[in-house]
Amino acid sequence: MSQPIWILKKSELGVGSVRRFDVCGNPLAVYNLDGTFYATDDGCTHATASLSEGEIVDDDCIACPVHNGTFHVPTGQAMSFPCEKALRTYKVIDQGDSVAIDINAEADAASDVI
């Protein structure tokens, strides 16, 4: 595993929220879904849009703010038209009150807890 990049304290991102972080030059969307943290690319795969400006729907999907296509946050899978290509997901490391991202590793179905 590569060196994780610590990006936030858990208290900085409320449940049901998403926020953009630039990690090593990559814009990422970081989500807090019911206390579990996830990270994906921030850019919609369909149109030029920042997913961190979108809305979390159905408890675990993000809706693109441009055309309302949705992605399943834990897996990155495109869920509704016009989105067809999956998002890249990233491994999230949850340690105590901090959250880190491993930008060189794909996510499992849920974040790791150390």
Q: Report pLDDT digits (tens) over 52-83.
A: 999 999 999 999 999 999 999 999 999 999 99
Residue 50 lies in a domain: yes
Question: Domain of 89?
Answer: 5-108
CATH number at residue 10: 2.102.10.10
Residue 88 lies in a domain: yes
Residue 99 lies in a domain: yes
Residue 72 lies in a domain: yes
Query: What's the structural domain count of the chain?
Result: 1
Predicted model pTM: 0.90
HEC readout, the chain? CCCCEEEEEHHHCCCCEEEEEEECCEEEEEEEECCEEEEEECECCCCCCEHHHCEEECCCEEECCCCCCEEECCCCCECCCCCCCCCCEEEEEEECCEEEEECCCCCCCCCEEC
Low-confidence ranges of the chain (pLDDT < 70): 1, 109-114
Residue 77 lies in a domain: yes
Residue 113 lies in a domain: no
